[in-house]
Amino acid sequence: MIQYLVMEVRNLEPLKIGAGGSKKNPAEPSKDYIPGSTLRGAIISQLIKQGVFTQETGPSIVKGIECYNAYPYRNDKLFVPTPQNLRVDKHKWRRRKLLSAQPGGEDSTISLSDLLQESRDRNALEYRFLSVEGDTLIGAKPPKFYTLHHSTSNKPSDREKENLFNYQAIASDQTFRSILSFGPDQLPLIESIIGQKQSFLAYLGGSKGSGYGLCMIKTVGEVQADYREARKLLGFKIPSKQAAGRKLTITCLSDCMFRDEYGRPINELPRRFIEQGCGVSGSLAHSLVVTGISEGFNTKWGARYPKETTLKAGSVLRYELERELSEAEWERVCWKLEHRLLGMRTQDGYGWVGINLEFPAALRVKEEQDQANSASGCNRETISVDESPREKEAAAQDIGIIKRGLKETKAQWLRMIVLKAFKHSANLQPAADRVILRDGLRRHPLQLMLEELRLCMAKLRGTDSNHKSSKSSSSVGDKQLYRFNKEVCSIADCSFAAIIDYLNGGGEEAANRRLEAYADKMLGSKRGGLYYAYANGPNDRPLFVAELLEAGLYYLHRRDS
């Protein structure tokens, strides 16, 4: 008889859990959840410390212990991978999101469509994880960031003595929940790992010696003999539809690795599992799957696991059974197929499925924020340094090196936005979500605008001690109408004059809100978060707007010359 224990993980340091790709890439991405294999490694590490796990007896001791993937947990809700059958109209989504991002914006919802039924929408959802609140879906995205690292080698055989590379990691102070399943005879072993405090510290993921991976792992509630009770403790809110019928819908809640009777990889649930769970056979009617490659690294071996084909989490399979099942039969089917992991490598969290999960057809636009963690909504980490003057000076030098190293790539990113705006602005009108840039200003007005803008930028950077304060638009004559022409140059439906007022700390409130909403959108991207991670706190949004406007005016100035 299988027993279940719900585990909660809170990372005290950023988590670096590699997400595959080329190992030669200097920017290694990270997963946004904690795989079961990573949790299993933490349990084995605890057993090694206690002297229980040895090379001879270790494999037999942990046989039968299965670790489910740990997914984000916020406000008493577990967020599971988004299923592939849910789709949205991207144009409606962007409009709703832009409105909700403005101060005082409504917490609106948007309707979704289902590819298992007739649907015209083909755009995937933005949120990687979903949960349910009432009759509405809510999304979550664990915050991640890139950190620049510098390594030096003293080995004479190494051709490259120094190396710069980026690690992506999950931001610290996030909460995840998982299930640990085991046999009844292994309960004393599990209790010895947890201890009397029902919690322990462990390092998860990679780069443990570089400030990554420290986590607090604790139990939630008591050991459960029923999977359904364990799922309640887990915070799993998505109900299962158990009405009489013939349709069996399987949603992969983790990556799955299935093989047929000959040991060959297949992209569906083996027939034997359906016959054992339902008592009848069925045929595959719809298949919405995304395939992936299994990966992993064994520290003991010092080598990577073999790569195998998997069905990625979120894949959906719809089967048509030979006969209709009653409600009581569906309850038995759900328990049989859900109470254990299916397929291969279940000890590493592969094979978690949900049966006939009923997802609401409406999605809340705003992301769910962790009320117990004010930093959960941040996607850029702040840097804290020691109080020692020497440490402060060293940290300031490091940040200066990073800023200089990113200066050229940041300029290329701004130029890319400008070139894209110039190319596509010919037939577009000014709007709150776009940059408008067209020919129409002569060289002298452009020179005046650049000079005025650079005075504002010097003020923002704190280097304007030898400059006069820039003029606001109210002090400029109405003859300079080019300053108010949004058809030629504008950001977020704001003219040059409105932008200058915003940079000087004034201007209309509505225009300022549009500029800040556009800046938040761009700084929330991967590149924006990287290039402006070391900006001066509240000045990061005005500084981005000023530098983007400077890049646009400089581009027009060069075209005119």
Name the band, by pLDDT with cuts 50, 70 and 90, for residue 3.
very high
Cα torsion 390, 391, 395, 396 to 10°: value is -30
Q: Are 525 and 414 in contact (CB under 8 A)?
A: no
Cα torsion 124, 172, 41, 24 to 10°: value is 70
d(CA 490, CA 480): 16
Question: What is the average pLDDT value for the chain, to the nearest integer?
Answer: 83
| DSSP H/E element including 560 | helix 540-560
Q: Average pLDDT of 489-513?
A: 90
Residue of 310, 457, 370 lying closest to 143 (CA atoms):
370
**Residue 32, C-beta contacts closer than 8 angstroms, at least 6 positions apart:** 72, 128, 129, 141, 142, 144, 170
d(CA 398, CA 533): 14
Name the band, by pLDDT with cuts 50, 70 and 90, for residue 78.
very high
| Chain segment 18-50, per-residue pLDDT in tens | 876 555 555 678 899 999 999 988 888 888 887
CATH class assigned to 1-79+134-237? alpha beta
d(CA 154, CA 54): 36
- Burial of residue 298, with CB atoms counted within 10 A of its CB: 0-12 exposed, 13-18 middle, 19 or more buried: exposed
pLDDT at 374 over 60: no
pLDDT at 363 over 50: yes
Determine the pLDDT at residue 477: 47
Which one of 125-129, 263-267, 379-383 scores highest in mean pLDDT? 125-129
Instruction: Between 558 and 289, name the one with better pLDDT.
Output: 289
Instruction: Between 401 and 49, name the one with better pLDDT.
Output: 49
Beta-carbon neighbour count of residue 157 at 10 Å? 5
**Residue 410, C-beta contacts closer than 8 angstroms, at least 6 positions apart:** 531
Classify each residue of 114-131 as buried b or exposed e, where b means 16 or more C-beta atoms within 10 Å of its C-beta: ebbeeeebeeebbbbbbb
Cut 0.95: pTM above it: no
H-type helices in 359-508, by residue range?
389-424, 443-461, 496-503
CA distances from 105 to 21, 31, 302 (A): 39, 31, 52
Kindly report which listed range (100-104, 255-259, 404-408, 464-468) carries the lowest average pLDDT score: 464-468
List, in sequence order, every residue forming a beta bridge with 319; answer none if it has no partner.
248, 284
pLDDT at 488 over 90: no
Q: Average pLDDT of 166-182?
A: 91
Domain locations in the chain as residue ranges: 1-79+134-237, 389-560
- Burial of residue 497, with CB atoms counted within 10 A of its CB: 0-12 exposed, 13-18 middle, 19 or more buried: buried
End-to-end alpha-carbon separation of the chain, Å? Answer: 80
Residue 407 C-beta-side C-alpha neighbours within 13 Å? 6
**Residue 556, C-beta contacts closer than 8 angstroms, at least 6 positions apart:** 437, 439, 441, 446, 489
Kindly report which listed range (196-205, 208-217, 300-309) carries the lowest average pLDDT score: 300-309
Determine the pLDDT at residue 467: 47
State the amino acid at position 81 in one-letter form.
P
Determine the pLDDT at residue 229: 93
3-class secondary structure, 354:
strand
Residue 495 φ then ψ, to 5°:
-75, 175
HEC readout, 261-274:
CCCCEECCCCHHHH
Q: Are 447 and 482 in contact (CB under 8 A)?
A: no
Classify each residue of 74-96 as buried b or exposed e, where b means 16 or more C-beta atoms within 10 Å of its C-beta: beebbbbbbbbbbbbbeeebeeb
Instruction: Between 263 and 371, name the one with better pLDDT.
Output: 263
d(CA 287, CA 302): 38
Sheet of strand 245-252: strand arrangement: 282-288, 316-325, 245-252, 353-355
Q: Are 249 and 355 in contact (CB under 8 A)?
A: yes
Determine the pLDDT at residue 403: 66
Q: Are 357 and 315 in contact (CB under 8 A)?
A: no
Per DSSP bridges, beta strands 214-224 and 435-437 are unpaired
Name the band, by pLDDT with cuts 50, 70 and 90, for residue 243.
confident
**Residue 234, C-beta contacts closer than 8 angstroms, at least 6 positions apart:** 6, 78, 177, 178, 179, 220
d(CA 12, CA 173): 5
Determine the pLDDT at residue 156: 65
Token pair recorded at residue 120: 């015209």
d(CA 32, CA 144): 8
